[in-house]
Amino acid sequence: MKSKSSNTHMTLHLKVWRQKGPHAEGKLCDYELEGVNPDMSFLEMLDILNQKLILKGEEPVAFEHDCREGICGSCSMVIDGNPHGPQKSTTACQLHMRHYRDGQTIVIEPFRAKAFPVMKDLVVDRSAFDRVIQSGGYISVNTGSSPDGNALPIAKEKADLAFDAATCIGCGACVAACRNGAAMLFVSAKVSQLALLPQGQAERSERVAKMVYQMDAEDFGACTNMGSCAGACPKDISLENIARLNREFMRSMVSGRKSYPRGDGANEGSPA
Amino acid sequence: MAIHLDSKSPTGPIEDRWTNHRFSSKLVNPANRRKHSIIIVGTGLGGASAAASLGEMGYHVKSFFIHDSPRRAHSIAAQGGINAAKNYKNDGDSIYRLFYETIKGGDYRARESNVYRLAETSVRIIDHCVALGVPFAREYGGLLDTRSFGGTQVSRTFYARGQTGQQLLIGAYQAMMRQVSDGNVDMYPRREMVELVIIDGHARGIVVRNLATGELETHHADAVVLATGGYGNVFYLSTNAKASNASAIWRAHKKGALIANPCYTQIHPTCIPVSGDHQSKLTLMSESLRNDGRCWTPKNLGDTRPPSQIPENERDYYLERRYPSFGNLVPRDVASRAAKLECDNGHGVGPSKLAVYLDFADSIKRLGEDKIREKYGNLFQMYEKIAGENPYKTPMRIYPAVHYTMGGLWVDYNLQSTIPGLHVLGEANFSDHGANRLGASALMQGLADGYFVIPTTLTNYIGGTTLSKVTTDHPAFKEALASAKARTSKLLGIKGNKTVDQFHKQLGHIMWDHCGMGRNKEGLQKALKEIPKIREEFWQNVAITGHGEGLNQELEKAGRVADFIELGETMCLDALTREESCGGHFREEHQTPDNEAKRDDKNFAHVAAWEYKGDGKKPERHVEKLEFEYCHPTQRSYK
C-alpha cells in the first residue's frame, strides 16, 4: 500500500456523498480531480476540489475538520468503506495521498449511524456523545477542593492503562464502523479510564450504569462482539475496554444499591 | 474620551498581592448567584474551566462555541506539557523562580503582578487536574513525573505523553459536562459570536450565528467572558486549527475593547516544514523533543548528502555551540531565530533548504528506542505520517512556524477589558507572557484564568456593580442584530471570482514576509500599503457560494478572513511603532552584534494598546507603563 512520494501529480475519480440538508435526499456525485500532489493530506485534496467547485460557482463539499493533526476528532468521513480511510491508526486528516495511485477511484461518504444524523454532505451530528458524557463521564470534584497531586500514588501500569483508554478523540469512527451503530468502544474507553483511577472509585458503580442507559437512549445499537470498532479506531483503543465495560456494568448491577433512570426518562430500575 | 489604562494591580509584597486582592474582592451570596447569568464564548482550556468553575459556584452559565462539541477546541492539540512550581524534583524550583523565568522569558514585557499570580496558581492546577482524573505521566513509585522545557533549568513540566492538552481539555470538558447535567451550564454548540452588545457602557450580551441553521440569535447576560484563543491564523499557515479565529476579539475590539501588543507573535522552532503550495496548515513537533533531540546543520555549504553520511565533525550543533549552558533548551524565540539564521546563511537542509535537523540518534543510543517511543511515540508517528520518513532512523527535518500570539485584548489584573463586564481569558488576552511565551505555559495560563482567577474577579465585578435588567428586546440588541444581518448579506451579495482561501493566502504571505520572524521598517511599511488593497478587493471580489440559511462553511471562513485582514494591518502598525526587538518581535534594525534581540527599555518598557477608530482609520495607540519592582530588566542571556 505504501509507495514512495514523488512529484508526479495524479488524477483521481472521486465519488462524494452530496446532501443539501438534514432532510434532503443525498446521492453520490462524480468529480474528476487533476493535479493531486502525493504529499498532500486527504483533506488538502478535498480543499483543492472545493476551490475548483467555488470558482465554477458550485457549492463546495461540506466536511468537518479542524486541527488536522489527528487529535480534535472532527473528521468524520468514510473513505472507500472505511471510517477515516484505509490506513490503520490514522485519522482522515493524517492520511496522505502518497498512498493512492494515479487514476484511482475513491468513494467518500459521511459516517453512517442512526445516532449520527447527516446534517449536510459529509457533516454529521455527533452530539449524542456529549450527552453520554453528561450522564456520568466525569469525576465530581469542585474547583478548590483537591488534595496535593502526589497525595495519592497510582501504579505506573495502572496509570498507563487509564491513559491508553483516555486517548479516545471522540470522533465516532467506532460507531460508523459497527454494523449495529454501537458506541461500546467510546463508552468503554471513558468508563475504563475513570474506573482504573483511584479518583474515579466513589462514583464507579453509578457512572457505568448511567452511561450505559444514556447510550441506549441515544439509539446506539447493541455490541456485535465483532470488533470492527477497534479495527477502525484511529487511536487504537483496545477491545479490552469493552470487556471491562461489561464487567463494570455487571458489577454495578450486582452491587449497586440504587436504580437509575433510563436516559429516555422512564425509570425502569435494574435491567435484566 | 481619554483612555487611562489602569492595570488595577494590587500593591504591597508581590507574594501577598493575590491573597489580599481575593480578600478585598466583593462576594455574591451563593443563593443569589443563580440569578446572575454569564456568557462564555469558547470552550478551550480557559472557557471550559471557567464554565465548570462558575457553574459549580452556582452562576447561570451560557456557553457558546463554534464546534459540534466543546471537546474540539484547539487546546486539545497542545502536546508537551504544563508548568507548575511544585519542586517535586527537589531541583531548586519555587513559585518565585517560575515567576522570574516567565518575566525573563517574556523579555520583560509582562506585568509582574499577573505573572506572579500565574506562578502561584500553577501548583493548584496540577492538584485539581489530578483530582479530575487527568492521567498525567507517572514514575514507577506512582508519583507524578516531570520533564524540562525551554528557557528553564529545572524540571517542572507535567505531561501526559505528547497529548497533555488533550488530557487537560477533556478533564475540563468533563467538569463542564457535569455542570451541564446539573443544569448550571447551558450549551450552545455551533454558534459563532458576531457582535458584542453594550448597554449603558457595560457588556450585556452577544449576537451569534447558528452555524447549522444560519439563524442569527441574541443572548443577554450580566457579564460576557471571551475565551476564544489566539489569532495566529492571520498568517494563513500556522500550527493553529483551521477554525481558530480572531473574530470574537476583533468584534469586541471594534466595540471599544483595546487590543494590546498585537505584533507579539510566537514562532515555534520545531514544526514540520512546508511541503508545497497545497499546504493547509503546519504541524508542531513538541518542544519537549528538544530534551532528547539535538539540532544541527551541515557545516559545509551546499552539502546534499543524506544526514547519515555526514560525519560528526562536519555537523554544526549550532544551539549547543552558541548557547552552551542552555544548549538545545533555549527559549522558543531564540531557537527559531537561530534556525532561520542557519537557513539564511545557506546551511538549510531538505528539498526546500528551509529546514534543520532534529536528531535523536544519541538519545536512542543512550536510552534505547523503546524509551524514546514511550516518551514521544505519538509525535514520531505523526511525523512519519506527514513527512513520510522514519524519525527513529533519519533525523527529523524541522522549521519554525507561527504558533501562538502573546498579544490579545488588553485586560487589567481582574482580566477585565476596557469594556466593563467584558472579561478575556487565556490566549485571547495579552496578559502573562510578555513578548515571548515559555513552553508549557499556555496550558497553565488557560487553566489558571478559568479555574482560579475568573471565579474571584468576575464575582467581584458582579458583586460590585449595579446592573439594570435587560432583555434582548433592548434597542442595542436590535441594532447589533441588524448590523450582523447586513454584514452577512453584504458578504453573500458580492459574488466575486476569488475564493476566501486565495485572499487568506495572499494576506498570509505578506504577514510572514514582513511581520514574521524578522521585521524591518521598509517591509512593514510595504505591508501597510498592501493590506488595505487586499481589504478593498476582498469586499468587491470575494466568491462565496450558497446562501445564509443553513450550514455554509465558506461564509464562516469569509467572516473570519475579513477580520484577519483588519487585524493584520494593526499588527503591522504595532510592529512598526515598536522600535526595538523583544522576544518574538525581532526588528532587524535593533540587534546586538551576535544577532540577539536588543530591547529599548528606556522608550518601550510598556504595553501598547490600540483603540479602534473606525473602518479604514488609523487606530490610536495607548500606553500602559510596566514597572519592574522584582525582576530588573537585563539583557537576556542563555549562553
A267 touches B at CB < 8 Å: no
Interface of B with A in 426-455 (CB under 8 A): 451-452, 455
Contact B435, B109 (CB under 8 A): yes
Mean pLDDT value of segment B386-395: 95
pLDDT of residue A259: 60
CA–CA distance, B213 with B234 (Å, rounded to integer): 27
Q: Is the pLDDT of residue A262 over 70?
A: no
Q: Is the pLDDT of residue A272 over 60?
A: no
- Closest by CA to B192, choosing from B42, B308, B380, is B42
> Look-up: residue for cell 489602569?
B6
Confidence of residue A83 (pLDDT cuts 50, 70, 90): very high
Q: Is the pLDDT of residue A256 over 90?
A: no
pLDDT digits (tens, 9 = 90+) for B557-581: 999 999 999 999 999 999 999 999 9
Confidence of residue A270 (pLDDT cuts 50, 70, 90): very low
CA dihedral A211, A215, A218, A221 (to 10 degrees): -170
pLDDT of residue A1: 38
CA–CA distance, B196 with B257 (Å, rounded to integer): 10
Q: Is the pLDDT of residue A264 over 50?
A: no
Mean pLDDT value across chain A: 93
By residue count, chain B amounts to: 639
Element (H, E) at B136: none
Q: Which amino acid appears at position B143 of this protein? A: L
Of chain B, the percentage scoring pLDDT greater than 90 comes to 94
Residue A54 C-alpha, separation from nearest chain B C-alpha, in angstroms: 6
CA–CA distance, A82 with B502 (Å, rounded to integer): 32
Of chain B, the percentage scoring pLDDT greater than 70 comes to 100
Paired with B39 in beta bridges are B62, B224
Q: Cell for B471?
A: 432583555
A102 touches B at CB < 8 Å: no
pLDDT of residue B150: 80
Q: Is the pLDDT of residue B269 over 60?
A: yes
Cα B383 to the center of its chain, rounded Å? 23
B90 touches A at CB < 8 Å: no
Pairwise CB contact (< 8 Å): B124 & A146:
yes
Confidence of residue A268 (pLDDT cuts 50, 70, 90): very low
CA dihedral A197, A203, A204, A209 (to 10 degrees): -150
Mean pLDDT value of segment A21-34: 97
E strand intervals along B308-376: 315-316, 356-359
Q: Cell for B6?
A: 489602569
Instruction: Give contacts of A200 with chain B, Cβ < 8 Å.
Output: 133
Q: Is the pLDDT of residue A3 over 50?
A: no
The architecture CATH gives domain B487-625: Up-down Bundle (1.20)
Mean pLDDT value of segment B259-269: 97
CA–CA distance, B114 with B7 (Å, rounded to integer): 10
Pairwise CB contact (< 8 Å): B74 & A142:
no
CA dihedral B311, B313, B318, B320 (to 10 degrees): 110
pLDDT digits (tens, 9 = 90+) for B14-25: 999 999 999 999
Domains, in order of start, for chain A: 10-120 (3.10.20.30), 126-255 (1.10.1060.10)
> Look-up: residue for cell 482609520?
B617
Confidence of residue A265 (pLDDT cuts 50, 70, 90): very low
Say how many CB pairs under 8 Å bridge A and B: 211
DSSP assigned state of B448: I
Contact B613, B605 (CB under 8 A): no
Q: Is the pLDDT of residue B548 over 60?
A: yes
Paired with B416 in beta bridges are B423
- Active-site residues of B, by number, are 332
CA–CA distance, B14 with B627 (Å, rounded to integer): 12
Q: Is the pLDDT of residue B376 over 80?
A: yes
Pairwise CB contact (< 8 Å): A134 & B74:
no
* CA-to-CA separations, B156 to B84, B153, B288, B376, in angstroms, rounded: 6, 9, 12, 18
Q: Is the pLDDT of residue B2 over 80?
A: no
Contact B196, B203 (CB under 8 A): yes
Q: Is the pLDDT of residue B545 over 70?
A: yes
pLDDT digits (tens, 9 = 90+) for B63-118: 999 999 999 999 999 998 999 999 999 999 999 999 999 999 999 999 999 999 99
Paired with A79 in beta bridges are A82, A108
CA–CA distance, B78 with A1 (Å, rounded to integer): 31
pLDDT of residue A257: 61
Q: Is the pLDDT of residue B347 over 60?
A: yes
Q: What is the CA radius of gyration of chain B?
A: 24
Q: Is the pLDDT of residue B123 over 50?
A: yes
Residue A194 C-alpha, separation from nearest chain B C-alpha, in angstroms: 7
Task: State whether residue B585 is helix, strand or coil.
Answer: strand
pLDDT digits (tens, 9 = 90+) for A39-63: 999 999 999 999 999 999 999 999 9
pLDDT of residue A271: 38
Contact B545, A58 (CB under 8 A): yes
CA–CA distance, A107 with A125 (Å, rounded to integer): 21
Buried b (16+ CB within 10 A) or exposed e, B568-581: bbbbbbbbbebebb
From the number of C-beta atoms within 10 Å of its C-beta (0-12, 13-18, 19+), residue B119 rates as: buried
A152 touches B at CB < 8 Å: yes
Pairwise CB contact (< 8 Å): B142 & A125:
no
- DSSP assignment of A51-110 equals HHHHHTTPPPPP---SSSSS-S----EEETTEET-SSTT--GGG-BGGGS-TT-EEEEEE
Contact B203, B421 (CB under 8 A): yes
Mutate which of A65, A132, A143 to disrupt the B interface (most B C-beta within 10 Å)? Answer: A143
Mean pLDDT value of segment B531-540: 98
- Closest by CA to B80, choosing from B374, B284, B324, B260, is B284
Q: Is the pLDDT of residue A241 over 60?
A: yes
Confidence of residue A261 (pLDDT cuts 50, 70, 90): low
User: Phi, psi at residue B580, to the nearest 5°?
Assistant: -165, 170
pLDDT digits (tens, 9 = 90+) for B195-223: 999 999 999 999 999 999 999 999 999 99
Q: What share of chain B is helix, strand, coil (3-state, %, to 5)?
A: 40, 15, 40
Q: Is the pLDDT of residue B600 over 90?
A: yes
Q: Which amino acid appears at position A176 of this protein? A: A
Q: Which amino acid appears at position B160 of this protein? A: A
Cα B23 to the center of its chain, rounded Å? 30
Q: Which residue of B has its CA nearest to A124?
A: B68
Q: Which residue of B has its CA nearest to A95?
A: B385
Mean pLDDT value across chain B: 96
Confidence of residue B1 (pLDDT cuts 50, 70, 90): low
Q: What is the CA radius of gyration of chain A?
A: 21
* CA-to-CA separations, A29 to A54, A234, B76, in angstroms, rounded: 16, 27, 34
Q: Is the pLDDT of residue A267 over 80?
A: no
Task: State whether residue A179 is helix, strand or coil.
Answer: coil
pLDDT of residue B175: 98
Contact A235, A168 (CB under 8 A): yes
pTM of the model: 0.96
Q: Is the pLDDT of residue B302 over 60?
A: yes
Handedness of CA B519, B524, B526, B527 (dihedral sign): positive
pLDDT of residue B287: 86
Which CATH fold would you assign to the domain B269-401?
Flavocytochrome C3; Chain A, domain 1 (3.90.700)
Contact B428, B409 (CB under 8 A): yes
**Listed range (B398-407, B410-419, B628-637) with the worst mean pLDDT:** B628-637
- Angle in degrees, 0-180, between the axes of helices A184-196 and A240-255, rounded to the nearest 10: 70
Confidence of residue B637 (pLDDT cuts 50, 70, 90): confident
Confidence of residue B636 (pLDDT cuts 50, 70, 90): confident
Sheet of B202-210: strand order equals B191-199, B202-210, B216-220
Q: Is the pLDDT of residue B162 over 80?
A: yes
Confidence of residue B635 (pLDDT cuts 50, 70, 90): confident
> Look-up: residue for cell 486549527?
B241
Q: What are the extents of the domains in chain B?
A: 269-401, 487-625
Q: Cell for B68?
A: 459540534
pLDDT of residue A90: 96
CB count in 10 Å sphere of residue B4: 8
Residue B552 C-alpha, separation from nearest chain A C-alpha, in angstroms: 8
- Residue B229's Cβ-side half-sphere holds a number of Cα atoms within 13 Å equal to 29
Helical ranges in B25-153 per DSSP H? 30-33, 45-57, 95-105, 112-131
